[in-house]
Structure 1
Amino acid sequence: MDLKSYIREVPDFPKPGILFYDVSTLLAHADAWQVAMGRMAKAVAPRQPHILAGIESRGFLVAAPLALKLGLGFVMVRKKGKLPGETVRYEYDLEYGSDTIEIQKGAIEPGQRVVVLDDLLATGGTMSAAIELIRKVGGEVVGAACIMELAFLGGRDVIPTEVDSVIRYEE
């Protein structure tokens, strides 16, 4: 199945000159969504993770059903102030400014094997930050994965672990 045919391309969103790849059209098609999750499972399972970490917010749409499919737990990596209880933070630089992500303290036990998931890999900044946060709390990041990768932006090159993607856009 050609999963690219289920991704809607929206020109000039969120601003002029940007071509937005909308995963919601794939999610709405039951067969395409099943195939995408099957391909993700085939890529992630050999890494033998103990738990999956999804990056806010569309990464939750990938990590939660994949964790269920693989019989694993799922934890959320969220923006600052979105998680209850005690959290561990990681601040990282963006092209213009900085951002902070968090994970709940104790959500990942030291030594647990973790795969980090998102819907899209673009420049790699947020995924790299999530990996560093998980390492900070003692997790062993054994891989990262996404449904779509904008390979022409070079995000894979800044990710400090192996990356799997189901759909690659080369240009």
Structure 2
Amino acid sequence: MQHAFHFNVKRCAQCFACEVACKSAHGLRPHAQEEPGASGPRFRQVVTLESEDGSAPVQYVSMACMHCGDAACMSVCPAGAIYRDHEFGAVLVDHAKCLGCRYCSWACEFGAPQFDRDGLMVKCDMCIDRLREGKKPACVQTCCGGAITLEPVEGGVNAPRETAARRMSAAKRLL
């Protein structure tokens, strides 16, 4: 069954614990803001959103791989190294097959696949090992405000996109 991360901006405490927990769970190097890219991949990152004119309050959004139903990264991989886990719907990288060609990173509009120092692509794996043990992903477990959840998606892998399209259509009708 497809699972998806959900983020509630109103519950976010802006503590960045999700980002730290993810790095810790995956043994990733800490992020050094003064040297972008020098610190390695970030599977989950908190991004700051501001209005261009400063009229709206700053929002912090915790972002990770969307584990898309029709994942562009999966469709362009020439080695078939990116595949879907059928139990949870996570889009994963098989490092034994990865060529390090970076096609997946170029195809992904969210920048989820990233080049690691071992010459292979890495990305959020939804903490698949933890899920298989009946545990929550590290980011979900650590989120003190409960802003990040991982929930089953009814309707399969394309349901999140269809739900978003319905909401956008309804919003446009109100304008």
Q: TM-score, normalised by structure 1?
A: 0.32
Larger relative contact order, structure 1 or 2 (CA cutoff 8 Å, min sep 6): 2
Structure with greater helix share of residues: 1
Which of the two has higher C-alpha Rg?
A: 2
Structure with greater strand share of residues: 1
